Amino acid sequence: MKFEQVKELISIIDSSSLSYFEASIDDGYIKMDKSLSRNIEKVEVTSENNKTEKVESSNTISEEIYDNFEYIKSPMVGTFYKAPSKDAEPFIVKGQKVAKGDILCIVEAMKLMNEIVAEFDFEVIDILVNDSDMVEYNQELFKIKKL
């Protein structure tokens, strides 16, 4: 992906209502996350043709906000399901307070349905995967805040 294309993509995502974006591209990978509070600073970026431009950078994350988040990760490789069936309500939703022992999701591995259960009380900040997505071992599934 060329430098100008990356700048254009950043501009489009920045002006959209999306808070998170990621994509695999032929020769790389792009991940953008606007969901955390960030301090904006001006930095200089040099393109392939040595042209220097000033752009906004959001590299600095508020430590207080960052420290309050944790992640629940997949204990296995498999298919993620947010509900017990297609017609059923999801086990948990964004913003929900979850109690220890509540079912969070199902990860299907080798035709076995494995219920993932909360090990402590927390609030769901974000659900990081979609229903029926393939997940890897140790992949972040939920962004949470312990209660």
Give 57-89 pLDDT, tens digit per residue: 444 444 444 457 899 999 999 999 999 999 999
User: Distance between CA atoms of 32 and 108, rounded to whole angstroms?
Assistant: 29
Neighbours of 118 (CB within 10 A): 19
Tokens of residue 22, six digits: 């990621």
pTM: 0.55
Do 74 and 57 belong together in one domain? Answer: no
The 10s digit of each residue's pLDDT in 12-51 is 877 777 777 777 776 666 777 765 544 444 445 555 555 5
The answer to whether residues 78 and 135 belong to one domain is yes
Domain of residue 17 covers 3-62
Say which CATH number the domain at 100 has. Answer: 2.40.50.100
Instruction: Tell me, yes or no, whether 85 and 131 share the same domain.
Output: yes
